[in-house]
Amino acid sequence: MIRSSAMEIYGHLFQNEPRDKAETMENKVWYLRQNRLFAQATEEGVENVEHIFTVCEYPRKTQIFDQGDPTRLVYLVKRGKVRVSRITPDGKEVTVAILGAGDLFGEETLFESPTRTTVATVIEDALICTAKAEDLFGLLARSPRLALNVAQILSERLLDANATMEDLAYARIPDRLMHLFSRLAAEHGTQTPDGVIVDVKLTHADIASLIGSTRETVSLELANLVKAGRVKMDGRAIVIPNKELLS
């Protein structure tokens, strides 16, 4: 696994993107507005705080932070995918969430957590805005709207965690898989005439860590779901038929 510093890329975030200072700031503001942190925030409100965010690029397989690292930064995903996981006492890595554009993570540093409780790893080349915890905390203290947005994000994370625990306790492996695929389809899916393509590149080992199973069992049960027509495979991508999403 790669552990590297991010490369700051002000002024050329994407190919053919404008490079002068005014246009770069406008681009950053636009992307900040797409993040859930700034839901219902005004354009002027975002422009007034864009200076506290740094834009960084993280290549695939970069470990952004490790469990036990000191907490200093909060991260807003602009592009790409990030896996957040936890290492169990017996050394197993359990995936907690798969995050994409518009998501926020590392928020535990806002609440005086001295060290990271999770691991964050890039699974698709990512473009991310970072902010110092103290700067973002000050922003939340001045803006009840943004504080409510963070509270809503944390509440949804808790609901997802509870649903996962219920699956682990009661659901069979095929049902766990379908619940996971439906959730990923809602969060990262692309609608097609045949169904929703889950736009996340996950190995069978990744899927196993998300549902509390093993790679071998996931491979077997996924093949059974394909045979039964409950999911389809498009290369490495998973397609959820519309009838399964409606059921």
Going along the chain from its start, the domains and CATH numbers come out as 7-157 (2.60.120.10), 171-246 (1.10.10.10)
Query: How far is the C-alpha of 81 from the C-alpha of 67, rounded, in Å?
Result: 19
pLDDT class of 26 with cuts at 50, 70, 90: low
pLDDT class of 247 with cuts at 50, 70, 90: low
Query: How far is the C-alpha of 101 from the C-alpha of 95, rounded, in Å?
Result: 18
Q: Interhelix angle for 133-142 vs 144-170, to 10°?
A: 110
Encoded tokens for 237: 């991508």
pLDDT > 70? residue 246: no
Q: Are 145 and 41 in contact (CB under 8 A)?
A: yes
Of 24-28, 62-66, 70-74, 122-126, where does mean pLDDT reach its minimum? Answer: 24-28
Q: Are 171 and 63 in contact (CB under 8 A)?
A: no
Closest to 171 in 3D by CA, of 216, 221, 236: 221
Encoded tokens for 241: 């038929």
pLDDT digits (tens, 9 = 90+) for 58-101: 999 999 999 999 989 999 999 999 999 888 888 878 888 899 99
Considering the entire predicted model, what is its pTM? 0.75
pLDDT digits (tens, 9 = 90+) for 200-234: 878 888 888 888 889 999 999 999 999 999 998 88
Q: Is 36 helix (H, G, I), strand (E, B) or coil?
A: helix
